[in-house]
């Protein structure tokens, strides 16, 4: 079976105007689920460095690298070629693209974004704009002609046009049910980068989401969450103001779904951040934690 040919429609699924029949979609998902059996070693440092240095990565992503430290993050994730990965709340697809490059042509990287809200849905609470997580870095120059704002599926569709990313797939599904049935028990790793706190003011049922992630992962699969650290006792109460979440609060919620804490990533920590502002004062990196959970 020529998997590359049979799965090519996935690269453009988010841009199709006409709905696809459920049977066809299920067939494509099943084909994806049957691939990516990975048992090799985790990526070597040299391989990770070459991924980050890929000449076809965008300038915007390279600017983002300055604060996101992708080499340390990819090493912490412990990825293997051929794995199947899901990036929750993909946004512009920065992390999803790195995952797609890391798992290679025999693996798959899915980027999930929530469907648009219904026109008659009740309004969400007012939320302060996200603060600058790295005010110590020089702000990138704005392009002469600003690009129109893209949805997450549009951003992933643009990334999937890169010939080096045939394994990057957009999934538009609610947070509470982020994984199609055909991929249940097929995922090796799920990531959620700097957006778990937002689920608080968005009204997402986080218990349902974490349970869905647990069900979708293979035994031994990992769930890696990075976020902006809040002060002890604040829980998720400052999600819409300071865009922070208490680490112990997040850990407790995820473990309630059955996960076990496997490792802490401290490469984005800044103990000097008072954690009492959206953007730290004086200018310094925002204190951020990375937690790796495992499905027993």
Per domain, the residue ranges of the chain are 7-115+128-138+148-294
Tens of pLDDT, residue by residue, the chain (296 residues): 333 323 333 444 433 333 333 333 444 455 554 444 466 899 999 999 999 999 999 999 999 999 999 999 999 999 999 999 999 999 999 999 999 999 999 999 999 999 998 888 888 889 999 999 999 887 666 666 666 778 999 999 999 999 999 999 999 999 999 999 999 999 999 999 999 999 999 999 999 999 999 999 999 999 999 999 999 999 999 999 999 999 999 999 999 999 999 999 999 999 999 999 999 999 999 999 999 999 99
pLDDT of residue 24: 39
d(CA 92, CA 155): 5
Structural domain 7-115+128-138+148-294, CATH architecture: 3-Layer(aba) Sandwich (3.40)
Q: CA-CA distances (angstroms) from residue 265 to 2, 126, 290?
A: 39, 32, 5
Counting runs of H as helices and runs of E as strands, what totals does the chain give? Answer: 10, 7
pLDDT of residue 140: 63
d(CA 66, CA 277): 21
pLDDT of residue 146: 65
pLDDT of residue 15: 35
What's the Rg (C-alpha) of the chain? 19
Contact 65, 170 (CB under 8 A): no
pLDDT of residue 191: 99
d(CA 95, CA 88): 10
């Amino acid at each position: 079976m020529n998997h590359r040919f049979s799965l090519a429609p996935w690269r453009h699924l988010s841009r199709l105007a006409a709905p696809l029949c459920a049977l066809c979609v299920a067939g494509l998902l099943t084909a994806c689920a049957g691939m990516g059996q990975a048992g090799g070693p985790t990526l070597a440092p040299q391989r990770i460095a070459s991924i980050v240095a890929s000449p076809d990565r965008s300038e915007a992503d390279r600017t983002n690298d300055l604060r996101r430290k992708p080499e340390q993050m990819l090493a912490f994730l412990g990825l293997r070629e051929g794995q199947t990965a899901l990036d929750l709340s993909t946004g512009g697809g920065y992390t999803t693209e790195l995952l797609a490059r890391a798992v290679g042509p025999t693996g798959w990287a899915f980027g999930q974004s929530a469907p648009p809200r219904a026109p008659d849905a009740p309004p969400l609470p007012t939320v302060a704009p996200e603060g600058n997580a790295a005010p110590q870095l020089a702000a990138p120059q704005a392009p002469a002609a600003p690009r129109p704002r893209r949805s997450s599926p549009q951003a992933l569709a643009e990334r999937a046009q890169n010939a080096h990313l045939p394994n990057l797939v957009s999934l538009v599904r609610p947070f509470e049910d982020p994984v199609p049935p055909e991929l249940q028990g097929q995922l090796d790793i799920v990531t959620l980068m700097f957006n778990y706190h937002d689920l608080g003011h968005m009204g997402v049922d986080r218990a349902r989401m974490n349970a869905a992630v647990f069900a979708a992962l293979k035994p031994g699969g990992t769930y890696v969450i990075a976020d902006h650290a809040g002060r002890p006792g604040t829980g998720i109460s400052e999600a819409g103001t300071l865009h922070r979440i208490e680490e112990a609060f997040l850990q407790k919620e995820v473990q309630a779904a059955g996960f076990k804490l496997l490792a802490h990533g401290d490469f984005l920590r800044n103990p000097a951040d008072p954690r009492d502002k959206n953007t730290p004062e004086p200018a310094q990196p925002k204190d951020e934690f990375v937690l790796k959970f495992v499905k027993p």
